[in-house]
């Protein structure tokens, strides 16, 4: 699906203050791409995601899915559009009283699928995420990575054509993050799906996304293909995100020094 945002604005007013979280945001990415939206805490990423995923309506501006305007839809039409949207979250948002299989079944029950089709789809989705043997497992017995796999299976079970990921790997260790991003990329390659990832980690953008938008103080300050933005970032905030990943990367020399200190013989060739 092709997602287009035009001049979106959103202001939240509380008793104490009024905050404009999204300011004149326009974005337009190719069909079925993996898009990263990166920004610091409070930059407006989640607010933007809520507008793009139709959870909230903008004060001004427009949201288009495949060229059709979808903000401010009447309730019935909005509910129909919601079936086209999958979402996964940092804290998984699974039903802890249900098994893995029953979590995946939930949106299909809501959509009125019959029992036989639900059972078959649950098995298919759990196999897709590598958890075919955990259908009957209570959620509480699963690791963080396994929980996110169940959440992905649940989000994609009703065959949405866009998947929003809200800091989906932020609660996971680096190895599990890597595995979940690989899974999302594998699934994306096998189906007609646009993926929008909200993140504060440039590694996630580097490892999984084709396009990126950098958000700061409500504005999109830089956007483009990931390869172009990594090669020649134009904005200081983007450069800061990039230098953060470079600092965290293990250099060959530091890895060799570590292994030698552990008593290993290292052949530098
Ligand atoms: N429902 C709301 N009511 C009032 N203010 C809000 C609401 N949602 C967001 N804000 C404000 O809008 C600004 C942007 O918040 P938002 O959560 O979108 O940023 P973010 O980039 O997702 O941050 P984080 O990574 O910390 O979640 C913040 O100043 C926040 O306090």
Centroid of ligand 1 to alpha carbon of 67 (angstroms): 28
- pLDDT value, residue 260: 79
Atom in ligand 1 nearest the alpha carbon of residue 48: 18
* Ligand 1 mutation pick, 15, 47, 49, 166, max ligand atoms within 8 A of CB: 47
* Ligand 1 mutation pick, 9, 12, 50, max ligand atoms within 8 A of CB: 12
Give the number of residues written for the chain. Answer: 269
Q: Which residue lies with its CA nearest to atom 7 of ligand 1?
A: 12
pLDDT confidence bin for 257, thresholds 50/70/90 = confident
Could you tell me if residue 12 is left (phi over 0), alpha (psi between -120 and 50 degrees) or otherwise beta?
Answer: beta
State pTM to two decimals.
Answer: 0.90
CB atoms within 10 A of CB 167: 19
- pLDDT value, residue 249: 61
Calculate mean pLDDT across residues 234-259.
79
Atom in ligand 1 nearest the alpha carbon of residue 43: 21
Q: Are 139 and 147 in contact (CB under 8 A)?
A: yes
The pairing of beta strand 60-65 with beta strand 3-13:
antiparallel
Residues with CB under 6 A from ligand 1: 12, 14, 19, 21, 39, 41-47, 200
Q: What is the pLDDT of residues 102-157, one digit of tens each?
A: 999 999 999 999 999 999 999 999 999 999 999 999 999 999 999 999 999 999 99
CA 52/CA 144 separation, integer angstroms: 27
CA 60/CA 23 separation, integer angstroms: 10
Question: DSSP letters of 62-101?
Answer: EEEETTEE-TT--HHHHHHHHTTEEEEETT----TTSBHH
Percent of the chain with pLDDT over 70: 96
Tell which CATH architecture fits domain 3-229. Answer: 3-Layer(aba) Sandwich (3.40)
* Ligand 1 mutation pick, 25, 44, 202, max ligand atoms within 8 A of CB: 44
CA 158/CA 264 separation, integer angstroms: 51
Domain locations in the chain as residue ranges? 3-229
- pLDDT value, residue 158: 95
Percent of the chain with pLDDT over 90: 85
Q: Are 50 and 44 in contact (CB under 8 A)?
A: no
Q: What is the pLDDT of residues 145-191, one digit of tens each?
A: 999 999 999 999 999 999 999 999 999 999 999 999 999 999 999 98
Is the pLDDT assigned to residue 247 strictly greater than 90? no
């Amino acid at each position: 699906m092709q997602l287009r945002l035009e001049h979106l604005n959103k202001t939240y007013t509380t008793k104490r203050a009024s905050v404009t979280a999204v300011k004149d945001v326009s974005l337009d990415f190719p069909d079925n791409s993996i898009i990263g939206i990166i920004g610091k805490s409070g930059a407006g990423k989640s607010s933007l995601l809520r507008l793009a995923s139709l959870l909230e309506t903008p004060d001004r501006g427009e949201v288009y899915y495949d060229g059709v305007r979808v903000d401010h839809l009447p309730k019935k039409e909005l509910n129909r559009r919601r079936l086209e949207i999958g979402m996964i979250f940092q804290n998984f948002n699974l039903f802890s009283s249900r098994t893995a299989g029953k979590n995946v079944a939930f949106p299909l029950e809501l959509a009125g699928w019959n029992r036989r089709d639900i059972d078959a789809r649950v098995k298919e989705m759990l196999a897709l995420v590598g958890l075919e043997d955990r259908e009957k497992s209570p959620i509480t017995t699963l690791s963080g990575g396994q929980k996110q796999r169940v959440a992905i299976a649940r989000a994609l079970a009703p065959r949405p054509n866009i998947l929003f990921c809200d800091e989906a790997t932020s609660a996971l260790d680096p190895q599990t993050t890597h595995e979940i991003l690989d899974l999302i990329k594998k699934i994306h390659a096998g189906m007609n799906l646009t993926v929008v990832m909200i993140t504060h980690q440039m590694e996630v953008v580097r490892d999984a996304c084709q396009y990126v938008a950098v958000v700061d103080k409500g504005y999109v300050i830089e956007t483009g293909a990931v390869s172009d933005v990594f090669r020649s970032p134009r904005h200081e905030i983007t450069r800061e995100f990039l230098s953060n990943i470079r600092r965290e990367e293990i250099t060959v020399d530091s890895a060799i020094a570590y292994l030698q200190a552990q008593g290993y013989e290292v052949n530098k060739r």
